[in-house]
């Protein structure tokens, strides 16, 4: 009997201890294996995930248990799975001073004032950064390829580093270890995202504390010093739970995480059928069915891979990862997630877990599960789409054609041609940092770059009111967002009820600006410092 390490993900609210007892008790009741099952990893901080040594047949049977969301091989043990960044575009530029260069801080400017001022030229030096908050009292976690901790963008106004380098396992109470290279960034993606969220000049929350969780196996970052995906959210949750209450505010310091990465899986060409939400479709009952991915599959079945030699890649939901995100959010951690760059319609209308068992069949007897959107995902997170640096008009913005969308995306932000800091050793086009040629800076784009915009602005909201729950922050950001965004393919698809592929999506707007000075009564929020 050949066993593999599977993660059994339970539905929210299921008695975790009771289910685990049944698995190890050798009862064989219902879909439970009729033997004593070894627990590979008890997951101290998880309320829904336990790792078991199971045969393929036992795993398939457990999927039928009404308490189970899904049963999946541990992500890092799957050959068909890739975890990568949500970045797509690279742009060359030159910059010799803070104010010079292409589209300087256009995202910060556009998200802080009502009118569009960036669409006609590249140099925006005449426009001040019109926001007044700086993220004081908030902890920002960059969950990415690492962080170049000595980059000047992560210093405060006095030149003192704001990066808190900690041992995540010791701080969280989770069993595990990390190497000294955990805070290094040989790719540059994490440093760029961190600069957008909290950079001294490039970012929003320029006085927030900065932390890094380096994701093991993430494309370009390597495994050295990284934390396995099974522990990434566990350590963040445990660390947040262990925070003391701030006597000045009566609350823990808020934690907001930026996750600009996602999962995808591979599949060969020659699709024969698709099982979508319990019904199998093929050329026999769908005249528009094709053996190759197309827009009909995207719009009808939520299956829209992109070609990446030697196979197709498509966004993939991983039930255990999504459950870990939900655990963090339930613990009070705010999470911003890049929605993805696959023009994918992320649909949440049928409820959690409904899409985990969609299957695409290809070749001879071959199949693969697929889902609508990629992990990490949770409806309580801030799922962020990408807005183009070239607007539709002087008053109307447009979604980037590659950006995922739909009801699972709840806000859009500037994500194209975003200028931020890089690590000195990185995978992108870069140039010398304007303030010190020993460091680097550059522009890239994608939902990877849009998500930290929301993370940084979210930190300003949390500075104003550290009592906000993840649901309250999501609600406030969505209500403050501007109805000026349209689908790039539909000239009439915008307005007060902005509807992009089934979603009520609007553009991020930072309420804390100099035109409306911050007081204890503004917007009904309390002043906490």
pLDDT, mean over the chain: 83
What is the DSSP secondary-structure string of 236-290? HHHHHHTPPEETTTTEEPPEEEEE-EEEEEEE-S-EEEEEETTEEE-TTT-TT--
Q: Which residue has the higher pLDDT, 173 or 221?
A: 173
- The pLDDT score that the predictor gives to residue 158 is 95
Instruction: Supply the CATH number for residue 140's domain.
Output: 3.40.50.200
Q: Which residue has the higher pLDDT, 452 or 316?
A: 452
Same domain? 90 vs 66: no
Which residues 6+ apart lie within 8 Å of 219 measured at CB? 82, 83, 84, 85, 261
CA dihedral 83, 86, 88, 94 (to 10 degrees): -120
- CA–CA dist 75, 472 (Å, integer): 32
Same domain? 167 vs 215: yes
Instruction: Supply the CATH number for residue 41's domain.
Output: 3.30.70.80
> Are the C-beta atoms of 500 and 399 separated by less than 8 Å?
yes
Summarised one tens digit per residue, pLDDT across range 213-237 is 999 888 655 446 689 888 999 999 9
Q: What angle do CA 381, 387, 389 make, to 5 degrees?
A: 145
Mean per-residue pLDDT, 56-68: 91
- For residue 54, pLDDT over 60 is answered with yes
Helix extents (H) in 148-213: 168-172, 189-198
Domain containing 26 equals 4-73
Element (H, E) at 109: helix 106-110
Task: Out of 109-123, 155-169, 378-392, pick the least confident.
Answer: 109-123
**% pLDDT > 70, the chain:** 83
Mean per-residue pLDDT, 277-300: 86
- The pLDDT score that the predictor gives to residue 373 is 78
- The pLDDT score that the predictor gives to residue 365 is 60
In the DSSP assignment, the letter for residue 154 is G
Is 275 contained in some domain?
no
| Encoded tokens for 473 | 């922050």
Summarised one tens digit per residue, pLDDT across range 323-380 is 999 999 999 999 999 999 877 778 776 665 667 778 888 766 666 777 777 899 998 9
Is 312 contained in some domain?
no
Same domain? 25 vs 92: no
- The pLDDT score that the predictor gives to residue 361 is 86
Query: Closest Cα to residue 231, out of 157, 299, 162, 172?
Result: 172
Same domain? 456 vs 344: yes
Is the pTM above the cut of 0.85? Answer: yes
Is 287 contained in some domain?
no
What is the band of 174 on the pLDDT scale with cuts at 50, 70, 90? very high
Q: Which residue has the higher pLDDT, 395 or 252?
A: 252
- For residue 270, pLDDT over 50 is answered with yes
Which residues 6+ apart lie within 8 Å of 201 measured at CB? 98, 153, 435
Same domain? 11 vs 92: no
| Encoded tokens for 16 | 């975790």
Same domain? 329 vs 458: yes
- The pLDDT score that the predictor gives to residue 519 is 36
Summarised one tens digit per residue, pLDDT across range 415-452 is 998 989 999 988 887 888 988 899 999 889 999 999 99
CA–CA distance from 140 to each of 196, 463, 493 (Å)? 12, 12, 35
Which residues 6+ apart lie within 8 Å of 439 measured at CB? 148, 151, 152, 421, 424, 432, 433
What are the b/e assignments for 467-484, b being 16+ CB within 10 Å?
ebebeebbebbeebbeeb
Q: Which residue has the higher pLDDT, 44 or 146?
A: 146
| Encoded tokens for 54 | 């199971």
- SS3 readout for 25-62: CCCCCCCCCCCCCCEEECCCCCCCEEEEEECHHHHHHH
Q: Which residue has the higher pLDDT, 155 or 120?
A: 155
Same domain? 321 vs 419: yes
What is the band of 114 on the pLDDT scale with cuts at 50, 70, 90? confident
Q: Which residue has the higher pLDDT, 500 or 507?
A: 507
- For residue 456, pLDDT over 60 is answered with yes
- CA–CA dist 156, 497 (Å, integer): 40
Same domain? 160 vs 251: yes
Same domain? 380 vs 399: yes
Mean per-residue pLDDT, 295-302: 78
> β-strands 382-387, 334-338: how paired?
parallel
Q: Please tell me the total count of domains within the chain.
A: 2
- The pLDDT score that the predictor gives to residue 124 is 54
Mean per-residue pLDDT, 136-159: 96
């Amino acid at each position: 009997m050949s066993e593999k390490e599977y993660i059994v993900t339970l539905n929210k609210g299921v008695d975790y201890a009771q289910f685990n007892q049944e698995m190890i008790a050798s009862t064989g009741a219902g879909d439970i294996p009729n033997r004593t099952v070894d627990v590979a990893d008890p997951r101290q901080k998880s309320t829904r995930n336990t790792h078991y040594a199971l045969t393929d047949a036992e795993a398939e049977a457990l999927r039928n248990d009404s308490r189970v969301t899904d049963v999946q091989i541990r992500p890092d043990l799957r050959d068909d799975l890739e975890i990568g960044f949500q970045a797509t575009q690279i742009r060359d530029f030159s910059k010799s001073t803070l104010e010079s260069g292409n589209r300087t801080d256009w995202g910060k400017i556009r998200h802080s004032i009502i009118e569009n001022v960036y669409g006609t030229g590249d140099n925006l030096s005449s426009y001040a950064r019109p926001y007044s908050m700086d993220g004081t009292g908030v902890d920002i976690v960059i969950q990415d390829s690492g962080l170049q901790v000595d980059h000047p963008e992560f210093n405060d106004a006095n030149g003192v580093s704001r990066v808190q380098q900690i041992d995540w396992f010791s701080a969280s109470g989770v069993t595990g270890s990390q190497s000294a290279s955990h805070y290094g960034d040989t790719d540059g993606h994490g440093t760029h995202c961190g600069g957008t969220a909290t950079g001294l000049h490039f970012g929003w929350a320029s006085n927030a504390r900065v932390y890094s969780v380096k994701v093991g196996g993430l494309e370009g970052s390597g495994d050295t010093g990284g934390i396995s995906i099974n522990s990434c959210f566990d350590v963040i949750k445990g660390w947040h739970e262990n925070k003391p209450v701030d006597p000045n505010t009566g609350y823990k310091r808020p934690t907001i995480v930026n996750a600009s990465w996602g999962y995808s899986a591979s599949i060969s060409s020659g699709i024969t059928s698709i099982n979508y939400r319990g019904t199998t479709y093929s050329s026999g009952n769908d005249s528009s069915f094709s053996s190759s991915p197309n827009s009909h599959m995207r719009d009808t079945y939520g299956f829209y891979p992109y070609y990446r030699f030697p196979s197709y890649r498509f966004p993939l939901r991983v039930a255990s990862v999504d459950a870990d995100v939900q655990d963090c959010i339930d613990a009070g951690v705010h999470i911003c997630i890049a929605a993805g760059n696959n023009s994918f319609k992320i649909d949440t209308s049928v409820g959690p877990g409904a899409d985990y068992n969609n299957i695409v069949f290809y070749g001879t007897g071959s199949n693969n599960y697929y889902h609508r959107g990629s992990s990490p995902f949770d409806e309580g997170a801030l799922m962020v789409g990408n807005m183009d640096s070239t607007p539709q008009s002087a008053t109307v913005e447009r979604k980037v054609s590659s950006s995922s969308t739909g009801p699972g995306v709840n806000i859009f932000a500037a994500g194209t041609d975003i200028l931020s800091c890089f690590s000195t050793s990185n995978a992108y086009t870069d140039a010398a940092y304007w303030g010190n040629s020993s460091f680097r800076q550059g522009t890239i784009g994608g939902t990877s770059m849009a998500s930290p915009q929301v993370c940084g602005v979210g930190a300003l909201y949390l500075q104003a009111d550290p009592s906000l729950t993840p649901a309250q922050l999501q609600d406030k950001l969505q209500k403050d967002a501007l109805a000026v965004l349209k689908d790039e393919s539909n000239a009439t698809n915008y307005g007060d009820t902005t509807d992009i592929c089934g979603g009520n999506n609007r553009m991020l707007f930072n309420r804390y600006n100099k035109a409306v000075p911050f007081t204890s009564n503004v917007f009904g929020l309390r002043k906490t410092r």
